[in-house]
Each structure stands twice: as structure tokens, then as C-alpha cells.
Structure 1
Amino acid sequence: MDGVDERVGEAGERVCLVPWAETDLWLLHRTNSPEMTAHLGGPETEERLAARNRRYAGLASGRMYRFTLSDGGETVGSIGYWQRTWQGAEVWETGWAVLPEFQGRGLAVRAARTVREAARADGTHRYLHAFPSVDHAASNAVCRGAGFTLLGQADFEYPKGRWIRSNDWRVDLEKGD
């Protein structure tokens, strides 16, 4: 699969999901600022970025993408879905980052809807979850706009060794919501 175009027939800018490649390390560097990582424990070291890039490129369960504007192909950010154990069950988890110059345009909502469809098409798990910090208004708005249901709050470890209070948002991929 070379790319997944947004299937939502919304007016406005459309996005395309492009499978993550080893050459996308530059995007991790761009999103590794104190402002972009304030809700994620802060910037990572060069070694951790390189390891994450390799993990994204070789993801065995799920898929990581950079997402682009459909018109022109300009990279906007990253998004993906991956397997995790949550409350005793295997589920998909999703997360995203949008470059500062593209924030506030609804592009993350469009990308989240598109990745939701990619996870549904994968067919492996019934649920797709997102766990933004309760204090991260923008990411919680993306969940709401992308059709996720707020289940409540949970203590969530991210990165490893750092606990944050997160909202647990979920989409039932079997029901099609």
C-alpha cells in the first residue's frame, strides 16, 4: 500500500497517509521540541529518536504513517496505530503529531478518521484507543472530532517511568462508529 487517501467527503484540505520509511527521521526531529513534547515527557535524545524511527519503519503489528496534504504532498505530521494490552485485552492504540505550521486547520481530525479506517480494515482488533493527557486540549478535541467516545480518565505511563493522567477515548471498529 503506497498511501491511503482520506475517505471522508469533507470540504477543505484532504490528507493522505504515507507508510513510514527510515528516511522519515527528519519528521521526528521536527516534532521533538519542548513545545511539541510538553504532554509527552519532553524531547527525546538522538539515540531514542533513531530507535523510534527504526521501530516505526519496522512495525510488525499496526502501521505508522506520515501524513501529507493530498494536494501537493506536503508533510503535515505523523499518525499511526499499534497494538497494546489495555485492561486485559489486546487493542489498537493511536497517536499523532502535527507540525506547528499546520496546527488548527482540522488536519489531525482528518488523519485520525483515516487511520481509524486503516485500523478497521486491518481487522485484528475491535477497539482503537487514544490516550491524550487530560490537559492536552487540542488532542482531546481531535478525538472528539474524529468520532471517538470518551470512556473516562486513567493513569497512563508515557514515556516509560512517567505517569500522566490521560483521557481514554475509544472507537468500536466493528460497529463502524
Structure 2
Amino acid sequence: MKLVPWSDDDLPLLRKINTPEMRAHVGGPETEEQVVARHRRYLALTGGQMFRIAVDDAAAGSVAYWSRVWGDVPVYETGWNVLPAFQGRGVATAAVHAVIAAARADGRHRWLHAFPRVANAASNAVCRKAGFALVDETDFEYPPGHVMRSNNWRYDLLHRA
């Protein structure tokens, strides 16, 4: 598994991620216009980095970290998607470990947060396996206009695993 910086060539991957199964915990599939707009945002991302997850040179999903403010504190947030053919093989956990290293190297913030929906057992398991600490449950808006009950996981980037 390796992380590859997001590029113009990754729009087809974003379309593969845009399925009812893959977007079940985040408001459902988007329109083509929304997918293209998301791709443009990923290409223009500042305060973090979007990556394609590659397994044996095949596109397996995406993972990113970006700056935001949470509880009046500047932090990073992370999120990921792993295509069904690569799920259950440790790809997401490996990708999150790699994005932790990237955020740590970026060095602007101490904390990296993840906000998977409480009902998303797989993503919550990734957080546990990657060494995040569960802070609390919270109402979290994602995508905009869609409030979901999420777990607030936090990783201390000053901690050396």
C-alpha cells in the first residue's frame, strides 16, 4: 500500500467511490456535478493533502487530512474511502497510519480527528486499530446540510507510536 498525491487522473476513482454502498454513511451518492466539484476541491486543497490509496498500483481508495477548527482549536481532520474489493485486508488502517505520518510531518497542528458515523462499525474499527482515542459522540454536519451522530476520535500527533 502506498499513498499517491491526488491528481487530475483520479476523477474516475472518485466516481467509483460515489455509490450507494460507499456513501451510505455520508448522505448517499452525489450528482456528477457534485463529484466534479469535489474533485476540484481535492486538487486545490490547502492546509492538508488528498491521496489516492494504491495497492500494487491499483487504485484502492482515497484518504486525506485537512485543517479545520474543532472546539475553537485548530486541528486536522481525516477521512477515507476504500473500494469494496480492497476492504477487509487492512488497507484502510495502513492508509490511516500513512496519513498520520503525513499530518505529523506537516506539523501545523497537534491533533488529528476523525468523525465516522456511530453506526459505521468498519470506520470506527479503523480508528481503534490506528491508535485514535475516542473522545465522545457528537452531532456532526457532513455533507453540508446533513447532520449525523458521529464518534469523535482524536490522535495526538506528538505521540510517537
TM-score, normalization by structure 1: 0.89
Query: Partner residue of 2:50?
Result: 64
Query: Partner residue of 2:26?
Result: 40
Instruction: Give CA deviations for 1:73-111 in whole Å, capped at 9, x if unaligned.
Output: 111110010111111111100000001111111110000
What SS does the corresponding residue of 1:116 show, helix, strand or coil?
Answer: helix
Instruction: Give CA deviations for 1:121-167 in whole Å, capped at 9, x if unaligned.
Output: 00000000000000000000000111111111010001111100000
Q: Unpaired segments of 5 or more residues in structure 1?
A: 1-14
Instruction: Give CA deviations for 1:5-62 in whole Å, capped at 9, x if unaligned.
Output: xxxxxxxxxx100000022011110011111101000000111111110111121110
Query: Partner residue of 2:10?
Result: 24
Alignment of 1:118-157 (within 5 A): 118-157=102-141
Q: Return the alpha-carbon distance in structure 2 between the equivalents of residues 157 and 132 of structure 1.
A: 11
Displacement of 1:175 = 2.3
Q: Return the alpha-carbon distance in structure 1 between the equivalents of residues 49 and 23 of structure 2.
A: 21
Q: Unpaired segments of 5 or more residues in structure 2?
A: none
Q: Return the alpha-carbon distance in structure 1 between the equivalents of residues 120 and 6 of structure 2.
A: 25
* 1:92 and 2:60 correspond: no
Q: Return the alpha-carbon distance in structure 2 between the equivalents of residues 176 and 57 of structure 1.
A: 30
Query: Partner residue of 2:94?
Result: 110
What SS does the corresponding residue of 1:169 show, helix, strand or coil?
Answer: strand
Q: Return the alpha-carbon distance in structure 2 between the equivalents of residues 75 and 28 of structure 1.
A: 10
Q: Return the alpha-carbon distance in structure 2 between the equivalents of residues 44 and 152 of structure 1.
A: 29
- Whichever residue aligns with residue 38 of structure 2, its letter is R
Query: Partner residue of 1:9?
Result: none
What SS does the corresponding residue of 2:119 show, helix, strand or coil?
Answer: coil
Displacement of 1:169 = 0.5
Alignment of 1:70-89 (within 5 A): 72-89=56-73
Superposition RMSD in Å: 0.8
Percent identity, aligned pairs only, is 57
Query: Partner residue of 2:152?
Result: 168
- Whichever residue aligns with residue 35 of structure 2, its letter is L
The runs of at least 4 consecutive aligned structure 1 residues that moved more than 6 Å come to none
TM-score, normalization by structure 2: 0.98
Q: Return the alpha-carbon distance in structure 2 between the equivalents of residues 48 and 85 of structure 1.
A: 24
Q: Return the alpha-carbon distance in structure 1 between the equivalents of residues 54 and 9 of structure 2.
A: 15
